[in-house]
Structure 1
Amino acid sequence: MNTGNIDLLLFGHRLRFFRKRLGLTLTDLGKVVSKPAPFLSQLENGHVEAKIGLIGDLATALGVTPADLLDPEPPSRRAALELALRRYQEEPNNIDRKLPLLRPSSKVPDEVLEHIVGLYAALEAESTVGITREQQSALEAREANVALRAEMKQRNNYFEEIEIIAGDILSSVNYAGSGPISEKVLKDICDHFGFAVKRTQEIPNSTRSVTDQRERIIYIPQRNSLPTRLSRSVVLQTLGHYALEHQDTDNFHEYLRQRIESNYFSAAILAPEKAATNFLQSAYDAHDISVEDLQEIFNISYEMAGHRLTNLATKHLGITLHFLRSDDEGFVWKAYENDGVPLPSSPDGTIEGENLCRNWGTRQAFHSEDSYSLHYQYTDTSNGKFWCVTYVEADRLPHHAVTIGTTADQAKWFRGSETKRTSTSYCPDPVCCTLPRAGIRQHWQGVVWPSARDRSYVASGLPVAGKGFSKFPGVDMVEVYEFLERQEST
Structure 2
Amino acid sequence: MNDLVTLGQRIRYFRTNSRMTLDQLGEKVGIAGSQLSLMENGRREPRLTLLSSIASVVGVELADLLDQAPPSKRAALEIELERAQHGSVYASLGLPGIRPSKGTSDETLEALVGLHRELARRAREAIATPEEARRANTELRQHMRTVDNYLPAIEDVSEKLLSEVGHTTGALTHRSVTRIAEMLGFELVHVHDLPHSARSVTDLANGRIYLPPASIPGGHGLRGMALQAMGHRVLGHETPSTYADFLLQRLEINYFAAAVLMPRRQSVEFLSEAKADRNIAVEDFRDAFGVTHEAAALRFTNLATKHLDLEVHFLRVGDDGAVAKAYENDSLRLPVDVTGSTEGQFVCRNWSARTAFTRTNRTTEFYQYTDTPEGTFFESTQTGTTDSGEFSISIGVPFAHSKWFRGRETTNRMTSTCPDESCCRRPDSRLTNRWSGKAWSSAKLHAHTLSPLPAGTFPGVDDRELYEFLESHAD
Instruction: Report the TM-score, using the length of structure 2 for normalisation.
Output: 0.67
CA distance in 2, matches of 1:462, 1:362: 28
The answer to whether the 8 A contact 1:287-1:415 is kept is: yes
Q: Does 1:294 align with 2:285?
A: yes
The residue aligned with 1:417 is 408
Q: CA deviation at 1:396?
A: 4.2
The residue aligned with 1:191 is 182
The residue aligned with 2:130 is 138
Q: Does 1:233 align with 2:224?
A: yes
CA distance in 2, matches of 1:337, 1:461: 29
The residue aligned with 2:273 is 282
The residue aligned with 2:207 is 216
Corresponding letter in the other structure for 2:137:
N
Highest Rg: 1 or 2? 2
CA distance in 2, matches of 1:460, 1:169: 41
Q: CA deviation at 1:134?
A: 9.5
CA distance in 1, matches of 2:384, 2:453: 20
CA distance in 2, matches of 1:310, 1:406: 11
The residue aligned with 1:435 is 426
Matches within 5 A, 1:200-349: 200-223=191-214, 225=216, 227-349=218-340
CA distance in 1, matches of 2:158, 2:447: 34
The residue aligned with 1:392 is 383
Paired residue for 1:168, among 136, 160, 173?
160
Q: How many residues align?
A: 330
CA distance in 1, matches of 2:250, 2:195: 19
Q: What value does the CA root-mean-square deviation take over the aligned residues?
A: 2.0
The answer to whether the 8 A contact 1:208-1:234 is kept is: yes
Deviations 1:404-447 (A, max 9, x none): 11011101101111111000001000000111112212322233
The answer to whether the 8 A contact 1:362-1:402 is kept is: yes
CA distance in 1, matches of 2:187, 2:284: 31
The answer to whether the 8 A contact 1:333-1:462 is kept is: no
CA distance in 2, matches of 1:239, 1:278: 26
CA distance in 1, matches of 2:274, 2:133: 38
Deviations 1:342-396 (A, max 9, x none): 1111122100000010000000000013244311100000100001011101344
* SS of residue in 2 equivalent to 1:334: strand
CA distance in 1, matches of 2:422, 2:258: 41
Deviations 1:437-473 (A, max 9, x none): 122123222332223346465457899xxxxxxxxxx
Gaps of 5+ in 2: 1-124, 455-475
Corresponding letter in the other structure for 1:145:
N
Deviations 1:275-323 (A, max 9, x none): 0000011001000111111111111111110011000111111001000
Q: CA deviation at 1:171?
A: 1.2
CA distance in 2, matches of 1:362, 1:459: 28
Gaps of 5+ in 1: 1-132, 464-490
Corresponding letter in the other structure for 2:129:
S
Deviations 1:218-272 (A, max 9, x none): 1111245574100100110110010000000130111100000000000000000
Of all paired residues, the percent bearing the same amino acid is 38
Q: CA deviation at 1:205?
A: 2.4
Corresponding letter in the other structure for 1:326:
V
* SS of residue in 1 equivalent to 2:221: helix
CA distance in 2, matches of 1:410, 1:460: 43
The answer to whether the 8 A contact 2:165-2:179 is kept is: yes
* SS of residue in 2 equivalent to 1:403: strand
Instruction: Report the TM-score, using the length of structure 1 for normalisation.
Output: 0.65
Of 212-221 and 160-169, the range deviating more from structure 2: 212-221
CA distance in 2, matches of 1:456, 1:408: 40
* SS of residue in 2 equivalent to 1:308: helix
* SS of residue in 2 equivalent to 1:399: strand
Of 306-315 and 390-399, the range deviating more from structure 2: 390-399
Corresponding letter in the other structure for 1:404:
I
Corresponding letter in the other structure for 1:397:
S
CA distance in 2, matches of 1:363, 1:455: 21
CA distance in 2, matches of 1:458, 1:273: 40
The answer to whether the 8 A contact 2:283-2:365 is kept is: no
CA distance in 2, matches of 1:387, 1:217: 45
Paired residue for 1:155, among 144, 147, 154?
147
Q: CA deviation at 1:186?
A: 1.0
CA distance in 2, matches of 1:178, 1:275: 7
Corresponding letter in the other structure for 2:359:
S
Alpha-carbon distance change, 268 to 135 in structure 1, aligned in 2, over 3 angstroms: closer
CA distance in 2, matches of 1:348, 1:165: 35
Structure ranking higher on relative contact order (CA contacts 8 Å, 6+ apart):
2
CA distance in 1, matches of 2:391, 2:259: 24
The answer to whether the 8 A contact 2:128-2:243 is kept is: no
* SS of residue in 1 equivalent to 2:376: strand
Deviations 1:18-55 (A, max 9, x none): xxxxxxxxxxxxxxxxxxxxxxxxxxxxxxxxxxxxxx
The answer to whether the 8 A contact 1:200-1:221 is kept is: yes
CA distance in 2, matches of 1:325, 1:209: 24
* SS of residue in 2 equivalent to 1:394: strand
CA distance in 2, matches of 1:307, 1:140: 25
The residue aligned with 1:481 is none
The residue aligned with 2:57 is none
Corresponding letter in the other structure for 2:136:
A
The answer to whether the 8 A contact 2:128-2:452 is kept is: no
Matches within 5 A, 1:346-425: 346-425=337-416
* SS of residue in 1 equivalent to 2:370: strand
Corresponding letter in the other structure for 2:135:
E
Alpha-carbon distance change, 221 to 452 in structure 1, aligned in 2, over 3 angstroms: farther
